[in-house]
Chains A and B, each alone.
Chain A
Amino acid sequence: MKTARGFIIAVSALAMTALAAQAATLKVGMQDDPDALDPALSGTYTGRFVFASLCDKLVDISPDLKIVPQLAESWEWAPDGRSITFSLRRGVTFHDGTPFDAEAVKFNIERMKTMPDSKRKAELAPVASVEVVAADKVRLALSEPFVPLLANLSDRAGMMVSPKAAKEKGAEFAASPVCAGPYSFVERKSRDLIRAKKYPGYWNAGRIGYDEVVYSIVPDSTVRLQRVRAGDLDLAERVAPTDLKAVREDANLALHAGQGVAVSHLMFNVGNGEKAKGPLGQNETLRQAFELAIDRNVINRVAFNGEFLADNQMIPPSNPFYSKAHPAPARNVAKAKELIGKAGMTRVPVEITYENALADGRVAQIIQSMAAEAGFEVKLQPLETTSAIERYLNGNFEAYIGNWSGRADPDPTLVSFFATTGSQNVNKFSSKELDALLMQARAEADEAKRKALYEKATGIYLTALSSIPLYHPNWFFAARKSVGGVVMYPDGLLRLDGLKPAN
């Protein structure tokens, strides 16, 4: 026994020295294969997850959702809020050696605004023109004051790609992207892996601890975790709430948890075609009764082991603009029945449509059984994702479980869902008062005044309840203890900066 143990120790010591001599590789397990690796085209979480190593942005967010410098060192709003001037970091180069300067910023913003299939058009819509002031100074002129612009630039709209590479590669750019992040693209094998190596010319190279990062695609959450436990991955993103116990009990693993900005909500069709004509679509009081009939904490406990955050707002409590004046109402079946009676009904039928994923299915069933106690006859309609999305966009649903990834700033979420012309306002909710408040808030540079406007807006959408927010998912990464410096961000993306092998 003793000799066996001695032998194992000797072998592992040898293995460790061999490892130390090798280049340090960070092996990350991701749930899905990203879509196109071009910041202008990307529309997936895993795409953004990979961009965190490849592509730096003009600005970044801090863990507490403040805007912090990245490729831009500082910025200044014009007094009328109609333009913003960025001072750019000097000496930065793209992975192909092209210098990063004001011209490059102009090229990028214009590329994202004009590429026909660009997904960044809405985020950059208020940018009217881009002016090169000096090699390291660039001014964005806006068609109207738009405070959330900085938050938009902290995501894909602010990612800078090499103008030279973008011109040369054209439509093939996504197959081998060239950016200015800490790692440069090496190879991608679809549905298998994406490999990137440390870029020696990175402006902040001193903070980069791994020589190489490999993102492996491991779709099943349990398997992803097993591979971290077995040591063939260093870190797995999005560990399922049901697997967290195993992570906490494993001495070799560390659980990294953080609050996110995403929200899951139950949307009611209040004004889009035939399906809006049901009792819940027509009657605000019935929707309030529905909210009182369900217990968000039960949804969280039963569907997510209590690991997510039950909440009644679209904006999570971690956001500085969260409204503390509107706490979640406690479940009250008697009151719900009373409201149903007031509306002159006893049984209220409603059909909930949702994407046929495990989590939404469980949530729908829990809602169904709780709402039944108050008198709601809930029918469930699970659909395969793309079919469900088609119905969602066409307003072909009575109620729909929506999963919104959220944004750093409250504006995109609230405007998309509640402004009359909002891109996600597929249930056709409309309130002139709310429209005016939201437009005022996006132009308000003073944070306290802006917060007051969002307080009012929250009051309005929580009374109309065209959507009942249910919970905010939290981010869970499982990492081996050998990975040092993991910091959780509300966008759920793994920053490589500061990450290093721990002893």
Chain B
Amino acid sequence: MVSLLLRRFAVALPTLLLVSMLVFSLQKLLPGDPALALAGEERSPEVIEYLREHYRLNDPVPVQYAAWLGNLLQGDFGTSIRTRLPIGTMLIEKLPVTIELALLSMAVALLIGLPFGIIAALRPGSWLDYGASVFSLAGLSIPHFWLGIMLILLFSVHLGWLPAGGYVPFSENPLANLRGMAMPALVLGTGAAAVIMRHTRSAMLQALSQDFIRTARAKGVERRRIVLRHALPNALIPVVTLGTLQFGELLAGAVLTEQVFSIPGFGKMIVDGVFSRDYAVVQAVVLCTAAIFLLMSLAADLAYGLLNPRLRS
């Protein structure tokens, strides 16, 4: 186990480095430099030139990259050139928000996706199965943006049960925090639930049709036990892979959902960063997201081990 972890970390560092290099050079291919985006409506040539000098935009890309990496190794993510706020502080503000939203959305997704996927597989062709199909189709095809606005109309404007948006830190007021997160987590969760449900259903169908299940049935094992102890752990392996990928995606920020509910997470941060050519901000967010993705895939590997004893050795 320890050697697995060590091996994973040994791979992770070069991966992160590569990701940061790639993003850094790709950003430089975007037309329009930050000095222009920054210079405001008047855009005086002197100011533009000063900004280019000051932010070292005239240097060759490898030099810029080296400077950025040098600062990063000293724990300095740099300053946003748009807001002049330290990026480290911005990350510390956004990270918990994004993680909380991803966790809650994943909880919603699993609570809906797993049980309904299992039930649909147990009774293929029943009205329950069709109902689950309709739900998953809807979950996949309804735009998050639209669903978000509809939920706001119903729960905030008409019923007045939940705040229409905004974010209150959990440490400040746990209840207000959860009330604010309820709708965004539901919106993101239903989308992910649909995918998880479809995969759980097909994986379960496959597992249930295998010989060892028939053998177990023939031996007279209780149906409940067959489903939960024999079929489910086998069916879960692809679902875990998918779940971790989806969780990673949620962590990368859900731009539209964040926008609808004014949740200050990673999604909006990176979009604004790209539009204003705030390279350092984009770099920082991408690096964080990549690190989280690597951690997630590590978590998935560990989960396989738990689910499948053959992989433990």
Task: Give chain A's interface residues, CB within 8 Å of chain B.
Answer: 33-38, 41-44, 116-119, 121-123, 171-172, 174-175, 188-193, 216-220, 222-223, 226-227, 229-232, 384-387, 389-390, 393, 404-405, 416, 423
Contacts and interface: CB of A to CB of B under 8 A. Distances in A.
B110 interface: no
B93 interface: yes
A41 B39 CA distance: 9
A403 to B, nearest CB: 10
Nearest to B267: A191
A227 B153 CA distance: 9
Interface of B: 30-33, 36-44, 46-47, 50-51, 54, 80, 82-86, 90, 93-94, 148-149, 152-153, 156-157, 160, 163-167, 259-262, 264, 268-269, 272, 275-277
Nearest to A423: B42
Contacts of A219: 259, 262, 268
A174 B272 contact: no
Given A119-B40, A190-B264, A384 B275 contact: yes
Contact of A226 (B38, B54, B164, B275): B164
Nearest to A426: B43
A389 B80 CA distance: 20
A56 B33 CA distance: 33
Contacts of A122: 42, 44
A38 B82 CA distance: 12
B63 to A, nearest CB: 21
Given A121-B47, A229-B157, A116 B54 contact: yes
B161 to A, nearest CB: 10
Contacts of A189: 93, 264
Given A226-B152, A230-B160, A232-B163, A190 B32 contact: no
A347 to B, nearest CB: 31
B208 to A, nearest CB: 45
Contacts of B156: 226-227, 230, 232
A223 B164 contact: yes
Contact of A190 (B38, B47, B83, B157): B83
A404 B46 CA distance: 21
A38 B157 contact: no
27 contacts: A36-B84, A37-B83, A43-B40, A43-B42, A119-B40, A121-B46, A174-B85, A175-B84, A190-B90, A190-B93, A191-B94, A191-B264, A192-B93, A216-B166, A220-B260, A222-B149, A226-B149, A226-B153, A227-B165, A230-B152, A230-B156, A386-B31, A386-B276, A387-B30, A389-B37, A390-B36, A393-B43
B83 A36 contact: yes
The residue among A119, A122, A174, A190 with the most chain B CB atoms within 10 A of its own CB is A190
